[in-house]
Chains A and B, each alone.
Chain A
Amino acid sequence: MWLMSENIKGRVYDIQGYSVHDGPGIRTTVFLMGCPLTCLWCHSPESQNYDFQLSWFDMRCIGTVKCGLCINVCPNSALYEREPEKSLIDNSTITKINIDRSKCDNCLACTKVCPANALVPSGYDISLEDVFKRIIKDKKYYGKDGGVTISGGEPMEQFEFTYAIAKRCKESNLTVCVDTTGFAPGENYEKILPYVDLFLFDLKHMDPKRSRNFVGVDNELILENAKLIAKNGGKLQIRIPTIPKLNASMENMMKTADFCKDLGDAVTMIQLLPYHNMGTTKYLRIGLNYKLVNVDPPSDEEMQSYLDLMLSYDLPAQIH
């Protein structure tokens, strides 16, 4: 029997209460770190890497005149003062720091001394019990539809932990959603299925080659897993991030619709998620460049045309 220890730990980058966009009703969403995909539009880039990275929150820094502790502790001399600038808060002059990412080895020594939480690790380790305590705290607010969503990154990457959370929550009569890219071993989906009420399942591209270009992996495994979940009685909420120039085309939407049609009753809803570029500041925090600079959000009309298409297939669909 496949077993796990009760004091298993996992790695998360956030736990968010009152989530209303990650599955039905009011939920607490646990965001796990690590993802095998590298979607160009990813709006949580800090979650792609399982290893901790140094995150930088510029607004919080109180400057080297008042503080400067970080520069002194950096063993790699990766932190240095920038030119003085005007504070956006009170117009005073402030000297903040820059991070030389080529020297930084993410040792995180600076995060331990920064009093303002301007330098923080991109995530933290937490035990199953502590995650569960955080989730169960809000139980009275979940109602009959709400509960927990395990998201990421790709939560199936930390399969033992995800499995443990799902099982623990299900046993406490919470509804469980898993928000997945679909890119994980099929057997793991089969294992976790009894403890999952709904998979929030991303379908990003139906074309294998384009899938590779845009998300970094082939789509074959993803599509197989969707079918596997459906076959085994799991429920799927299909989520389609709709990115102009990448996957937002009638052709791709028609293929997606065909595919969803074949999944039958397993599909409870198709959510069309219009692309937004609100995640761009997160790239700066971890010293990366955002790659989709030339893409604008799709128009309402364009979104409506995809919705109409889905509805014409008699599929349950909505723009979210």
Chain B
Amino acid sequence: MYKFRSATDRIELMHQLVRDRVIPVDTERVAALTKSHKKNAKVPPIIKTALATYDICSEMTCRVEDFEIIVGNIGKEFLGSGMWPEWDASWLWQELEEMKLWELWDDGLYHRTDPSGVHMSMSREEINSFMSFRDFWKDNTVTSYMDSWAPEGFEEVAGLGILEMGSKMRTPIHTGHLVAGYEKIINTGYHTIRKQAQDWIDAHKGNLMGNDVDKHMFYKSAVIICDAAINMIKHYGQACFDKANLCKDECRKAELMKMGNGLMWISENPARNFWEACQATIMYQILLYQEARHPALAFGRFDQYTWPFLEADLKSGSITMDEAQEIVDAFFLKSNCFYRASNPKIAAYTGVGVTYHHTTIGGVNRDTGEDATNPVTYMILETVGRLKLHDPTISLRINKNTPDKLWDCAIETTRLVGGLPLFQNDEVIIPSLVKELEFELRDARDYGIIGCQEIVGCGNDYPAGNGLHGKAGLGSHGNVLMTALNNGVNPSNGKKGGLQTGYLYDMKTFDDVKSAYKTQFDYLHKWSVTIQNYVENLSTFYAPSAALSISIEGCMESGKDCTVGGAKYNSYGGTATGLATVSDSLAAIKYMVFDKKLCTAKELYDAVMANWNGYEVLQQQVLSLVPHYGNDDPYADELMAWVTDIYYENCCECYSKRSKYYKAGLYGAAQHVVQGSVTIATPDGRNTGQPLADATSPGQGRDKNGPISVFKSICCFDHGRYMDGLALNLRIHPSALSTEEAKISLRDMTKAYFENQGMEVQYNVVSSDTMRAAQKDPKSYKDLVVRIAGYSAYFNELPTTMQNDVISRTEMNSL
């Protein structure tokens, strides 16, 4: 059995601080940004954005804490956060004006402890300062441009309340779901990248023809951003020297000097050792966050791009494995310090207290296709397991030669830390990337996972998973179905705007029902992509990303920003969560009305519209008689396959100016809970307001035949088509992992699922009893981590609705 070891004292100290975090919000970034934008008001956005990043990086506070071996901060304080008003900060201005959610504590700070978001604090001075910038940004944000005009027909369809962006065009989340080119940054250095850009500029001075003007602006933005990085990293180096000068402990003093020297070196040059590779990755991450509030910058295959450095260090004897482990611990704790204050309403969707530094480990070597497990692979699991870190999400890539020892380590990790790692199947994903998205084999073998679940190329792809901006997909599929059965009126809110597809009680055959759903779905899904396409047009102009483009393969070569198609691979996509609610509802209609004739269509329609009030017996019949998805019953599974098929086929018809691929995805962060809360009862027996099914998982509590039946059900459709990712959440009772043999059985079952073309699975190993106890006595369960859907979280930090959702899932037992 894999055993986790204890961490060093300073790591434990940092862990405590991260664990009990309060995020101090400050205006340092806002002040520098606003000043810069005022100064450069009429400069083209691509240059203006780069100049602002340069100014922010020049003026930011560079911190070095006593306990740190990896430095870097995105706010003024340790754990602090700046704000990103250039996209949208209206929520915070509004909150601070009303002051309902912020209360003054004894420490003299205003605290926001509402469970919808993480615990944040602000001083009076910071609040005043922040308020002073309100007027400038009011009509100057990217989202305000989005809101000011919309394509024809938008208002009507938005009024339905099904599209996820609500009644306005704005997408509240900035673009930036991808794996940046960390490998390039640490192996090339900013000096060389800058030189490449400057060389082009020098060669074309006074001779800009055709597209050269665009290219010139792009390369200029690259030069500015490299200067920003060099500048900032040197400041960190100097901060280490300053700290060293004051340090009395000779040992720590030497360490700080070494860190300072290392930072000075990597500010321009490629990393020379393991520590520099890790520190350079963090520095680059900070550069990216000072540029924009990228929501999901994943670290990609960290074990692959750092191992060559560690291997060389170990050979030369300059580091021990324990020292390297401490660096990995510090790296991931540091990544936990980068929580970017955000609209709590969005946080409820996308993850409370989650930084989205999804990290991919294991998998195959991109050149040989052989298993690529290395010591860093284990170190990352060791960090997650011993510190019980719920963030970042770790995806473990499984191939047919994944070592048993790594399986053992991963299953031990999942037993302790709910849902981590996610198990991803190379044998399905790699060939599918080649087939569906025309990846070269070498790049397909090098894939990573971002966000919740999205599959992307590493450092060569602008994948815009989950849409160009998050929260831009189609909303509740439960409402799509109900609108289809209610002649184009969304019964959850009574709003018109869908196609007139008739009423359930007028439909003569089950094929009529399916056809109504397909028609409505096709219409609304195309609309959701239309809006994404329109928004992409706007945001690429107003929010380019030089900081990303300097590292992503294709951009520097083509002289094009990644947001306008400079990357080697381009795609975008969306996700559908809770399709099991739709397919189970269709199964209920088919079974109850058409096949067994246990009730009429009118009765079922009336029952659902009444939220089953007065129809409780019928509801129970639906729950106990109708076959449900997740039980290896073809009656239900065929409908799930049909629902996923029509979704995939619709996605294949969508594309944008930048990308010819719109990818289908079957996962969610926690949308199923939020969408369920605005969805009327559904024919599958679900009540109004209850969560939809999550991702591709069976409806909560509907799967009654054990995990193998779930695996067999989910393989009723072709996973390889869902290149935006797919998730299956299974909850396992701890007793099913109580012996070594049982753990091996979990491994073997997962292997068998993968051999049968399953793409992904994630396990929560926690009993309902434990979660109920944690609800009653949160303090005693501080470290309890569960996976809600697209992210893991401390159970106690989840809103009660989400806690109850995890409890309501079937607990796979084996007693």
Q: Residues of A with Cβ closer than 8 Å to B?
A: 16-21, 24-26, 62, 66-67, 69, 115-117, 137-138, 140-141, 143, 146, 278, 318, 320
Contact = CB atoms under 8 A, between A and B. Distances in A.
B323 interface: no
B262 interface: no
Given A17-B705, A20-B742, A138-B709, 16 more contacts: A17-B706, A18-B706, A18-B814, A20-B739, A20-B745, A20-B814, A25-B741, A26-B749, A66-B616, A66-B617, A115-B618, A115-B620, A137-B632, A138-B712, A140-B756, A141-B708
B624 A320 contact: no
Contact of A62 (B616, B706, B815): B616
Contacts of B705: 17
Q: Which of A21, A24, A141, A146 has the largest count of B CB atoms less than 10 A from its CB?
A: A141
B624 A116 contact: yes
B326 to A, nearest CB: 33
Contact of A21 (B620, B742, B812): B742
A148 to B, nearest CB: 13
A118 B815 CA distance: 21
25 contacts: A16-B814, A17-B707, A18-B706, A18-B736, A18-B745, A18-B749, A18-B814, A20-B736, A20-B745, A21-B742, A21-B814, A25-B748, A66-B616, A115-B620, A115-B621, A115-B624, A116-B620, A137-B632, A137-B712, A138-B708, A138-B712, A141-B711, A146-B745, A146-B748, A318-B739
A117 B617 CA distance: 11
A24 B741 contact: yes
A153 B709 CA distance: 25
A66 B616 CA distance: 6
B708 A278 contact: no
Contacts of A18: 706-708, 736, 745, 749, 812, 814
Contacts of B742: 20-21
A134 B618 CA distance: 29
Which 5 pairs show the lowest CB-CB distances between chains A and B?
A: A115-B620, A17-B706, A66-B616, A116-B620, A20-B745
A140 B752 contact: yes
B741 A20 contact: yes
B610 to A, nearest CB: 13
B690 to A, nearest CB: 11
Contacts of B756: 140
A136 B712 CA distance: 13
B139 interface: no
Contact of A69 (B617, B632, B741): B617
B809 to A, nearest CB: 15
A278 B767 CA distance: 14
Contacts of B741: 20, 24-25
A115 B749 contact: no
Interface string B740-767: 0110011011001101100000000000
Contact of A17 (B624, B709, B748, B752): B709
A181 B409 CA distance: 37
Interface string B125-167: 0000000000000000000000000000000000000000000
B139 to A, nearest CB: 46
The secondary-structure label for the interface of chain A is loop
Contacts of A318: 739
A141 B752 contact: yes
A21 B740 CA distance: 11
A271 to B, nearest CB: 10
Nearest to B614: A66
Contacts of B753: 141
Contact of A143 (B706, B746, B752): B752
A320 B709 CA distance: 26
A306 B618 CA distance: 54
Q: How large is the interface on B (under 10, 10 to 19, 20 to 34, 35 or more residues)?
A: 20 to 34
B359 to A, nearest CB: 30
Contacts of A66: 616-617
Contacts, number: 74
Nearest to A320: B739
A69 B617 CA distance: 9
Contacts of A20: 736, 739, 741-742, 745-746, 814
A278 B738 CA distance: 15
Nearest to A120: B624
A117 B624 contact: yes
A101 B812 CA distance: 32
B735 to A, nearest CB: 8
B708 to A, nearest CB: 5
Contact of A278 (B621, B746, B815): B815
A211 B742 CA distance: 31
A87 to B, nearest CB: 13
Contact of B620 (A67, A146, A320): A67
Q: Which of B709, B746, B748 has the largest count of A CB atoms less than 10 A from its CB?
A: B748
A213 B745 CA distance: 37
A231 to B, nearest CB: 28
Interface string B187-208: 0000000000000000000000
Given A25-B745, A138-B708, A278-B815, A115 B752 contact: no
Interface in B227-282: none
Contacts of A24: 741
Contacts of B748: 25-26, 141, 143, 146
Contacts of B814: 16, 18-21
Nearest to B814: A20
B755 A62 contact: no
A220 to B, nearest CB: 31
Given A17-B706, A116-B624, A67 B812 contact: no
Contact of B617 (A67, A138, A143): A67
B434 to A, nearest CB: 26
A67 B616 contact: yes
Contacts of B712: 137-138
Contacts of B739: 20-21, 318, 320
B617 A115 contact: yes
A140 B620 contact: no
Given A16-B706, A24-B741, A62 B620 contact: yes
B749 A141 contact: yes
Contacts of A117: 620, 624
Contacts of B812: 18
A26 to B, nearest CB: 5
Q: Which of A20, A69, A140 has the largest count of B CB atoms less than 10 A from its CB?
A: A20
Contacts of B815: 21, 278
B195 to A, nearest CB: 56
Contacts of B618: 115
Nearest to B618: A115
B623 to A, nearest CB: 8
A62 B612 CA distance: 12
Contacts of B736: 18, 20
A45 to B, nearest CB: 15
Nearest to B742: A20
Contacts of B755: 140
A273 B795 CA distance: 32
Nearest to A17: B706
B625 to A, nearest CB: 8
A18 B736 CA distance: 9
Q: Which of B616, B621, B745, B756 has the largest count of A CB atoms less than 10 A from its CB?
A: B745
A278 B741 CA distance: 21
A318 B739 CA distance: 10
A24 B736 CA distance: 14
B706 A26 contact: no
A67 B748 CA distance: 45
Nearest to B632: A137
A108 to B, nearest CB: 16
Contacts of A25: 741, 745, 748
A278 B756 CA distance: 35
Contacts of A62: 616, 620
Nearest to A63: B616
A303 to B, nearest CB: 13
Interface string B597-622: 00000000000000000001110110
